[in-house]
A and B are shown apart, each in its own frame.
Chain A
Amino acid sequence: MSPKSPKKEYTRKDFASDQEVRWCPGCGDYAILAAVQRTLPSLGSTPENTVFISGIGCSSRFPYYMNTYGFHTIHGRAPAIATGLKLANPKLDVWVITGDGDGLSIGGNHLLHVLRRNIDLQIMLFNNQIYGLTKGQYSPTSQVGKVTPSSPLGSIDQPMVPARFALGARATFVARAFDTSKKLPEALSAAREHKGASFIEILQNCPVFNDGVFDLITDRKTGPAYQLWLEHGQPMKFGANGEKGLRLKPETLSLEVVTIGEDGVTEQDIVVHDETNASLAWMLTDLPEVVALGVLYRQPGPVYNESIATQRDLAEDRFGKPDLHALLRQGHTWTVS
């Protein structure tokens, strides 16, 4: 093992590499990068024990700008490469950086399985609803009708809901935030603290190919009417003055947006967020009129890399000290003299 470096208070600068950042001016990725560089020191992370693994796409350039270990891999496969790394060295703090194309299109299978296995790492999915690096084709999260070079008459693909995909894979941590949000570091910290695979969808603006697609949600003026920031144990209220909220419609088993004080709606009618409730989380992934942000679901589960370690201990208990000489002689042998 390497010698321990002297204990040091790290700052944002310690996590920034010397490479010039080459995203387009105004790209939401800048804000996400800054949030990550700001958050890591506060979590006690060290550059040498932190690894960023990415696939291919605009977001996947991320590791080059972090002064940590990093691996810019191949399209869609980052979750699998991160899995191997975490199995090789479970002590590392592993982050996967992916996008809606990389993670949900070409790499959908790997994202599904890394979540299902619950490997202890963080997955940041930058969702800009477009293919940026290949110059603007529609992605698996683009809205129907999206006009792009590959869909001149509008996309006919039905978009998927990333958080719903994650819940379907039985992810144990599902959160959502957006690029310029002040609450992004909070979501990142929660993801890092969770043991197991943490999935964070980050709504991210692409100023070149899909500019303003999240403006209603992220704009300082219009945003409050569309952002529902979840807090465990608190009523799910939103709006500029917290006047709106979610009420359960028992007859359809769905959530509806209501205004407190109107039509006899009171504070008591607003559903309290329970982040361990998978059914509630499922409804929160795709609400009418409002976007749920923060931690949608968090429920501890068996962690794959820990189970691997447990089985290895079990094997050592059962089979004893590894002995190559004995291994080659297991079963039937005979001697020729």
Chain B
Amino acid sequence: MEPSAAARVQPSPRETLDSVIIRFAGDSGDGMQLTGSQFTTATADAGNDLSTFPDFPAEIRAPAGTTYGVSGYQIHFASHDVQTPGDAPDVLVAMNPAALKVNSEVLKTGGLLVVNSGAFTANNLKKAGYEVNPLEDGSLDRFRVLALDVTKMTLDAVKEVGLGSKDANRCKNMWTLGLMYWLFGRERDQTVGWLKNKFAKRPKLAEANIAALNAGHIYGENAELPHGINAYQVPSANLAPGEYRNISGNEATAWGLVTGARLAGLEVMYGSYPITPASSLLHNLARLKHFGVTTFQAEDEIAAVAAAVGASFGGSIGVTGTSGPGVALKSEAIGLAIMAELPLVIVNVQRGGPSTGLPTKTEQSDLFQAVWGRNGDAPLVVLAAATPGDCYYMAIEAIRVAATYMTPVILLTDGYLANSAEPWLLPDVDALKPFPVAFHQEPEGFHPFSRDEETLARVWAVPGTPGLEHRIGGLEKDRSTGHISYDPHNHHLMTSVRHDKIAGIARDVAPAKVDQGDNHGDLLVVGWGSTYGSIRQAVSVLREKGHQVSHLHLRNIWPLPEGLGHLLDSFHTVLVPELNNGQLVKLLRAEYPVDAVSLPRVTGLPFRIGGLIQAMEERLHGSAI
């Protein structure tokens, strides 16, 4: 675990910290996501490594002042490698009583609590469920409290601009950001430029927000802060040299799809129906028409995938993006693509389930659905991205596998990956290896289900090609003519062929390897998807303590990579932490003779490092010989 906010003190006016976790919290209309993302950009500019976690309610504008309308944005930044947005914040910014109520439990003891006392009115206290004002009853004594009337100071700062009270009041977040910039030694220039650009058509708003930002900063410079509250600095991290940007998972997936299609020499047809947390994939791709991308906002989830299947039949790479409930609706069409053996990429940005579940919260509970969730013996490929930046590479891989093997590929990401940002070392796109697709052209001896002997992929013959006119569909085909067949033996054979084709892809992907630690030992922690950072960090803490712990993170969920069974066999205990009720663990137990232990967590939130360490230690003690 990273040291708390009391690392080493240097003889400078600013206290130096290794690592800080800040959570901004306020009403969903308070602009906390914007505040957090601006702080993130300024922090990246300062050279820190970082990880963020936006946590917002399902309601677009929940009634003001209520606890269920609280929107949060957590950022963890450090002078060292950062893997996760962190567990408990060192600093909590609470813009109203509800934000304090929801978040004060998680703030570290001794942590810095910045509150807008101006919002602690009788009405707001009541809405948040406080009978007594917590700023006055001593209940916050375990924190270092900086209670400021941000509302009043913001209104004073923007008075000269002459805005209406509603607009003026909405500058509070920029005042607060200004103060936080001063506290942590961040530059304001980038945010000033961003505000000017954002409000280019409403210069008064730009002026007021900049005035508020500056006023918050000046407040920090001049005010006598209470005892124990200092200005801080976090030295820059030792990142690998190169060009960086902040990237969220959905941006990375969208760009990866475009890149993958380029490498394949195909156009993208992205069919989608808006759904949280996948909609921003559609938004991102809709802006990339000049890259040969067609986006189709369909009438429903079924039409979205059906259009993608139709596009693949026509020689584009059909892609559809959604979340779990949408995949449920798409299942039959995915089965069609399996049966017709057409390439298709399905991105599932998982969220809390079942049914509507927790739409804005993260979960990894669609693994079973992805691997097995269709009628019939219907194998396909399932990939999982580990970090926001990894979404880029996995989207490319999804297209490569789909086009090479004429198969649907499900790419699993999740709400956490979709929305969190991390600094991303930009790839050299010219160095990525192309995998050009060749459509079948030769009429001689053609039938639509003739296969490549090695990959077992059938030929891709697209409408418009003379001499290759053929019919495909959801009915079983004869293995050697491609015509409809109800022959029992043929169906058995074709079921095997579809299975073997997918199973054989294991030979075409990297064999299983541990991400951290040795190839044998006491404990192997096997993870997949967005838990990468949490597991990595927890394992490194235990390794520093001298434990024989290793971390293996699966990106190929189905088929599983070669060599996995041997690695599982090389550890005394295998622990599988997942943000579900135990899905990968059952898959592993079904495929290998391994007594893997499940560590499920289904709270809609990422793992806490502390909780992971504790669970691993229990296993280590339990398995100590």
Contacts and interface: CB of A to CB of B under 8 A. Distances in A.
Given A74-B332, A327-B258, A80 B294 contact: no
Interface stretch (A125-133, A241-249, A267-275, A315-323): A315-323
A85 interface: yes
A64 B471 CA distance: 6
Nearest to A112: B299
Contacts of B429: 324-325, 328
Contact of B246 (A83, A109, A315, A332): A332
Interface residues of A, number: 66
B497 to A, nearest CB: 20
A322 B47 contact: no
A333 B318 CA distance: 31
Interface in B322-360: 332-333, 335-336, 340
A83 B306 CA distance: 9
A57 B89 CA distance: 60
Given A2-B465, A327-B255, A80 B306 contact: yes
Contacts of B246: 332
A86 B318 CA distance: 12
Interface in A42-61: 46-49, 51, 53, 56
Given A48-B466, A312-B289, A109 B245 contact: no
Interface in A298-320: 308, 311-312, 314-316, 318-320
A331 B299 contact: no
Nearest to A83: B307
B605 interface: no
A194 interface: no
Contacts of A85: 310-311, 313-314, 463
Nearest to A318: B290
Interface in B236-268: 239-246, 255, 258-259, 262, 267
Which of A3, A46, A110 lies at the interface centre, i.e. has the most chain B CB atoms within 10 A of its CB? A110
B475 interface: yes
A67 B313 contact: no
Interface in B464-480: 464-475
B291 to A, nearest CB: 4
Contacts of B243: 329, 333-335
Interface stretch (A32-40, A88-96, A209-217, A256-264): A88-96
A252 interface: no
A72 B464 contact: no
A160 B296 CA distance: 29
B472 A335 contact: no
Given A333-B245, A336-B47, A3 B466 contact: yes
A48 B239 CA distance: 56
B464 A81 contact: no
B464 A92 contact: yes
A336 B259 contact: no
Interface string A134-155: 0000000000000000000000
B218 interface: no
Contacts of A3: 441, 466
Contacts of B454: none
Contacts of B336: 73-74
A333 B426 contact: yes
Nearest to B271: A84
Contacts of A80: 298-299, 302-304, 306-307, 310
A166 B258 CA distance: 36
B306 A322 contact: no
B291 A327 contact: yes
A83 B296 contact: yes
B480 to A, nearest CB: 15
A331 B245 contact: yes
A324 B430 CA distance: 9
B44 A87 contact: no
Interface in A1-31: 1-5, 17, 19
Contacts of A336: 47, 239-242, 244
B470 A69 contact: yes
Contacts of A19: 483
A113 interface: yes
A261 to B, nearest CB: 51
A319 B286 CA distance: 13
Contacts of A47: 469
A84 B269 contact: yes
Given A51-B463, A71-B471, A333-B245, A88 B267 contact: yes
A325 B427 CA distance: 9
A332 B296 contact: no
A202 interface: no
Which of B292, B311, B426, B464 lies at the interface centre, i.e. has the most chain A CB atoms within 10 A of its CB? B464
Contacts of A48: 463-469
Given A69-B470, A324-B259, A334-B44, A84 B318 contact: yes
A329 B245 contact: yes
B462 A328 contact: no
B249 to A, nearest CB: 15
Interface in B264-298: 267, 269, 271, 288-292, 294, 296, 298
Contact of A84 (B292, B309, B427): B309
Contacts of A316: 289-290
B314 A84 contact: yes
A20 to B, nearest CB: 10
B269 A87 contact: yes
Which of B190, B289, B316 lies at the interface centre, i.e. has the most chain A CB atoms within 10 A of its CB? B289
A168 B468 CA distance: 39
Given A74-B474, A85-B314, A319 B466 contact: no
Interface in B436-466: 441, 462-466
Given A109-B303, A334-B44, 20 more contacts: A2-B466, A3-B466, A5-B467, A48-B466, A69-B469, A71-B471, A73-B474, A74-B335, A80-B298, A80-B303, A83-B296, A84-B269, A84-B318, A87-B307, A87-B311, A87-B316, A89-B463, A327-B288, A335-B243, A336-B244
- Give me the 8 closest cross-chain CB pairs, A-B, nearest first: A84-B310, A72-B473, A84-B307, A88-B314, A80-B306, A70-B471, A81-B310, A80-B303
Interface of A: 1-5, 17, 19, 46-49, 51, 53, 56, 63-64, 66-74, 77, 79-89, 91-92, 109-110, 112-113, 308, 311-312, 314-316, 318-322, 324-325, 327-329, 331-337
9 contacts: A51-B463, A71-B340, A83-B296, A83-B303, A86-B310, A88-B312, A327-B258, A332-B44, A334-B244
